[in-house]
Structure 1
Amino acid sequence: MTAQDTLRPVFTETFPSTMDTGILYVSIPYRTCGHLCCCGCGHEVITPISPAQWSIAYDGENVSLTPSIGNWALPCRSHYWIRHGHVQWSRHYSAAEIAQNRERDRHLLAQNTEEHRPRPLARLRRHLQSWRR
């Protein structure tokens, strides 16, 4: 497989059993995105949408995810951003930086678990419903 430089959004309720290269699957009901790792290694990458994990922006054509995708548990250890449907590669993190980021992420997730705020996705859901009409 080859590295991807773009990802096309596909809005779906559930992900297919086999994901296609170059597609960013977005499930609003399950608050999750999924794609094949952009480095071309073929591993599936799942990004939960929540205040403490990833947020999604849809401009009517392309999707952006924030923060970056750090595939540090995969053998490739790829690290990239998805901005307006384009893959922007980032630098590789050291083991210490990865550990620091994981600790920060655990802290944010614990902090936001009680404060579940669905407002940003609710706005996106309304936008998608009006767009599909």
Structure 2
Amino acid sequence: MRHHTLEHRFVRNAPRELEPGVLYISMEYATAVHSCCCGCGERVVTPFTPTDWRITFDGESVTLNPSVGNWNQDCRSHYVIERNRVVECGRWSDVRVEAERRRDMRAKAAYYGRAAASARPDTPPTAHAVDTEQTSGIWSRFWAWLST
């Protein structure tokens, strides 16, 4: 890791040119942006959503959870930002990366599917609950099959 600490800056918009070692945080756009901590210079965007990242500001430092895995970049760096410190995490295999992508898709489908269904007045709540349970069962069986 090239950067072992990050300075946080609360901004409205992230600049086009990112200063290495700076975590730009836009509460208005619920997103943090930084230059990859490995030093490759790639732009890393972490949106704050119920299914993506969360940021904690303790008055002096920031923590970003979960870890940042740059699987789509050549560097494939993986780290956690904890109290402005960059903590290097181990590399993930392609199999583990794909498993995490599937888990992420399921989390988004479960969360946003629930939100979309509750926004439709013509969908009875009990019908949605049954659909969610059936979908969850299918995913559980699929995951179990995939894990063997």
Range of TM-score over shorter length: 0.7 to 0.9
- Which stretches in structure 2 are left out of the alignment for 5+ residues? 117-148
The aligned counterpart of 1:40 is 39
- Percent of residue pairs bearing the same amino acid type: 39
Q: What secondary structure is seen at the aligned counterpart in 2 of 1:106?
A: helix
2: CA distance, partners of 1:111 / 1:86 = 32
**SS of match in other structure, 1:107:** helix
Partner in structure 1 of residue 144 of structure 2: none
Q: How many residues align?
A: 115
How many Å apart are 1:108 and its aligned residue? 1.1
Moved over 3 A (4+): none
**Does residue 71 of the first structure (1) align with residue 70 of the second (2)?**
yes
User: What's the RMSD between the two structures over aligned residues?
Assistant: 1.4
1:11–1:107 distance in 2 versus 1, CA, 3 Å: same
- Highest CA radius of gyration, 1 or 2? 2
1:98 is matched by which residue type in structure 2?
V
- Structure with the larger helix share: 2
Give the structure 2 partner of residue 87 of structure 1. Answer: 86
Q: Which residue identity does 2:75 align to in structure 1? A: C
TM-score normalised per structure 2 = 0.75
Task: Give the match's secondary structure for 1:50.
Answer: coil
**Cα separation, 2, equivalents of 1:111 and 1:37:** 30
What is the 5 A alignment of 1:1-133?
Answer: 3-113=2-112, 114-115=114-115
What SS does structure 2 have at the residue aligned with 1:56?
A: strand
Separation of aligned partners in 2, 1:60 and 1:53: 23
* 1: CA distance, partners of 2:106 / 2:29: 23
Q: Secondary structure at the match of 1:102?
A: helix
